[in-house]
Chain A
Amino acid sequence: MRQARADEYAEFAAARAGHLYRSACLLTAGDTHLAEDLVQETLGRLYVRWGRVSRVGNPAGYAQTVLARTFLAHQRRRSSSERATDVLPDRAHDGTGDTPLRLTLLEALSRLPAKDRAVVVLRYWEDRSIEETADALHVSSAAVRTRCVRALGRLRGLLGEELGEYARP
C-alpha cells in the first residue's frame, strides 16, 4: 500500500473502529469476543481493498456492510441451517453498566436467527432503509421486509413493555 493510502486507511480505521465494534456487539448479541474478532476481520478486509473502498461514496457505510456480511459468513460456517442461538453467548462483562434491561435486550437479540438480527441491526441501529438493507445483505427487499416483520414480532413478544422503559431517555 502506498504511504498516502496507508495513512488514509489508518485514519479511517481509527475513526470507525468504535462504531464498528458497537455494531458488532449488537450483531453478536453481546458476545464481545466474537465482536472483536469480526471487527478485526472487517478492518482486515478493508485494508486489502482500501484502494477501491476509499473511492466509493461512503466508506463508513461500506464498512458496516462488510461487517454484516462477515458476521453472516461466520454464522453460516458455524451451522448449516439458520437457527437462533439457544444459549446465551459468551458475554464478557466490561463493567459498563450492564443493566438488567440491557441484558434483556441483548438476550432477546440472541434469540433471533442471525439474518434477522442483521436486518434488525441495519434497520434500527444503522437506520438503513429496507432497500439499503437488502443491498447490504444480498437479499430482496421482500425478504428484508419479511424478516423485519418476523423479528419485530419476536422481539415484541420477548420484550414487551420493558423496552419502552429501557428506551426512555
Chain B
Amino acid sequence: MPDVEQHSDPFEEQLSAGLRRAGAGFDADRAALVAAGAVRGRRRLLRRRAAVVSGAASLTLVGLGGALLLPGGGGKAPREDTSVGTSGRSATAAPPAVSGDALIRALEKLLPAGKLSKTEARGTDEKPGPYVSGVYDDGKGAAAISVSLGRVQPGSDEARQTTRCPGKVFVHYDACGTTRLPDGSVVMVMQGYEYPDRRVDTKLWSAELVTPEGQHVGVMEWNAAAEKDAPVTRPEPPLSPARLRRLAAAHVWRDAVDAMPEDPGRPTGEPTPTATRPAVAVAPTLESLLPKGRFTVSESSGDDTGFGYLVVDDGKGRCLVQVNVQEGMSDVAGELFGSGSETLPDGTRVAVHQGPSEKGGSGAVMWTVDTLRSDGRRVVISELNSGAPHDAATRTTPALTIARLRTIALSPKWWP
C-alpha cells in the first residue's frame, strides 16, 4: 500500500505549518464559549435525552436523588407542551408525573427475589430525566443496576443506532444481540464491560429498548456494587440477557416515558441524513458475494451504505474484510491507479495492493483490490489476516484470494 504516515511530501509539511499559523490567528472569548457550552449541555439534558444515549456510548448520570412525592402511575394523556419554568413544573395540563419512588417500586417489583438497596431515583418531571438505580443482591453478590428513560425520534438514525450492536471491531463485548418484540419494539442486549480497555474486568450488561413510538428504556447492570471503583462481587451481573430484555420491555417504563413533559425547545423531526440515491447495504451485499458455505461471519457492520465490513472465518482464522462503495471518484483516478494497474475492456480500472497492514498487529497484512468504473463509481475491498485493525495476524495470509476480492469488487450487485 502506498501509505506513508509521515508527511513525506513537502507540500504536506507546508500545509501543516500553514494550518497551525492560520489556526493560531483565531481567538475567542473562551469563558463565553465555555458558559454557552454548559448552557447547551443543560438544555440537552432538559430535552430528556440525557440519560439515554445509545448503546456502547451510553452513559449513566449518577442519580441526583431527591424524588418528588407525586402521585405515581403515568397514563396516556396527550403530550402537551409544558412551559419549563424555574421549578420544572407547569400549571398547564401535563400528564400526571411518575415519582422517583414509584419508579423504585416498579424496579423492585420487576426484579427476581432479592434485596434492592441504596436506591436513588428521579421522577418523570425531574431534570435531567427519569432514572432509577440501586444495588440489587439475589444472595450471590451485590450488583449495581439502573434504568433510565427517555425519548428518541421514532425512525431516526438515533433510534436505529440505539438498538444496533456496535461493531465488535471497535467496542469490546462478549455478546450482543438485537430482538424485535411482537409490539414492534426493538431491544438490544449487550454483554460488555465497564471499561472498554478492560483495565478492570467489571462487566456491564445493558439492554436498550426503543418502541415504535420512540419511548426509550435503558437498563444497565454490573457485577459490582457500583459502576466503578468497587470490587467485582460475582462472575456475572445478576440478570440473564433474557431477563434483562424482559425488564426493559416492562410497560411501566413506557408509561413513565409518556408522563415526561415534552420539551418545548426540542426540534421537531430533525431531518435524518440519508443517501440521496438508492445505495446498497454494504455488509449484506458483501456477505452475499462470499463463496457459499465456506465462511462463517462473526461480525457485520449492519445495513450501512457507503462503507461496511464483515469479520469472516473459513475455519483457519478470522479476517476483517472492509468495503467502500463510492461515486464521483474519477478525479483521483490518476492517483489511485498507477502504472501497475489494469484497465478492463469497459474502461474499469483495477489496482491490487498487498502489503503490511497500516496499523496491524504482528504479522498482519492487508490485501486490497481497488476498482473504478469509467463513470467514477468505485468499489474498494480490503482484507486483513486478522479480525481487527490492531490485532495480530490469525494466519499467514487472508482468507479470500486476490482473484476472489477482484470478483467481489467487480460485481454488478454493488450498483442495483
Q: In the bound complex, do residue B3 and residue A105 qualify as a contact, i.e. CB atoms below 8 Å apart? A: no
B209 within 8 A of A: no
A10 within 8 A of B: yes
Pick from B18, B31, B37, B53: contact of A105, CB under 8 Å:
B18
A150 to B334, CA, bound (A): 10
Residues from chain B with a CB closer than 8 A to the CB of A41 are 37, 40
Q: In the bound complex, do residue A77 and residue B307 qualify as a contact, i.e. CB atoms below 8 Å apart? A: no
Instruction: List the B residue with the shortest CB-CB distance to A37.
Output: B36
A86 within 8 A of B: no
Pick from A36, A55, A106, A155: contact of B28, CB under 8 Å:
A36
Interface residues of A in 76-99 (CB under 8 A from B): 76-77, 80-81, 94, 96-98
B82 within 8 A of A: no
A120 within 8 A of B: yes
B359 within 8 A of A: yes
A21 to B324, CA, bound (A): 32
A163 within 8 A of B: yes
B16 within 8 A of A: yes
B415 within 8 A of A: no
A51 to B13, CA, bound (A): 37
Q: In the bound complex, do residue B60 and residue A51 qualify as a contact, i.e. CB atoms below 8 Å apart? A: yes
Q: In the bound complex, do residue B37 and residue A39 qualify as a contact, i.e. CB atoms below 8 Å apart? A: yes
A169 within 8 A of B: yes
Residues from chain B with a CB closer than 8 A to the CB of A81 are 276
Known: A13-B37, A14-B31. A22 touches B24 (CB 8 A): yes
A166 to B39, CA, bound (A): 39
Known: A43-B34, A44-B41, A45-B44. A125 touches B23 (CB 8 A): yes
B380 within 8 A of A: yes
Instruction: List the A residue with the shortest CB-CB distance to B19.
Output: A125
A156 to B13, CA, bound (A): 12
A55 to B12, CA, bound (A): 34
The majority secondary structure among interface residues of chain A is helix
Residues from chain A with a CB closer than 8 A to the CB of B45 are 47-48
Q: In the bound complex, do residue B38 and residue A47 qualify as a contact, i.e. CB atoms below 8 Å apart? A: yes
Residues from chain A with a CB closer than 8 A to the CB of B59 are 48-52
A78 to B: closest C-beta gap in Å: 10
Residues from chain A with a CB closer than 8 A to the CB of B278 are none
Q: In the bound complex, do residue B24 and residue A169 qualify as a contact, i.e. CB atoms below 8 Å apart? A: no
A36 to B5, CA, bound (A): 31
Q: In the bound complex, do residue A124 and residue B15 qualify as a contact, i.e. CB atoms below 8 Å apart? A: yes
A169 to B20, CA, bound (A): 11
Instruction: List the B residue with the shortest CB-CB distance to A72.
Output: B273
Residues from chain B with a CB closer than 8 A to the CB of A124 are 7, 12, 15-16, 19
Interface residues of A in 24-74 (CB under 8 A from B): 25-26, 32, 35-36, 39-52, 55-57, 73
Residues from chain A with a CB closer than 8 A to the CB of B170 are 135
A107 to B: closest C-beta gap in Å: 11
Residues from chain B with a CB closer than 8 A to the CB of A17 are 28, 30, 33-34, 37
Q: In the bound complex, do residue A127 and residue B41 qualify as a contact, i.e. CB atoms below 8 Å apart? A: no
Please encode chain A, from 129 to 169, with 1 for each CB lying within 8 Å of some chain B CB and 0 for all others: 11100010011111101100110110110010001101111
Instruction: List the A residue with the shortest CB-CB distance to B42.
Output: A47
A129 to B341, CA, bound (A): 26
Q: In the bound complex, do residue B273 and residue A77 qualify as a contact, i.e. CB atoms below 8 Å apart? A: yes
11 CB < 8 A contacts A-B: A2-B62, A32-B28, A43-B36, A43-B37, A55-B228, A105-B18, A106-B22, A142-B380, A150-B331, A164-B14, A166-B18
| 10 further contact pairs, Cβ within 8 A, besides A13-B34, A41-B40 | A21-B28, A26-B23, A42-B37, A44-B39, A44-B40, A105-B18, A120-B15, A135-B170, A153-B331, A155-B15
Interface of B with A (CB < 8 Å)?
3, 5, 7, 9-28, 30-31, 33-34, 36-45, 49-50, 53, 57-62, 170, 195-197, 228, 270-271, 273, 276, 306-307, 309, 322-324, 326, 329, 331-332, 335-336, 358-359, 368, 370, 380, 382, 389
6 closest A-B pairs by beta carbon, nearest first, are: A43-B37, A47-B41, A44-B40, A167-B17, A76-B273, A25-B26
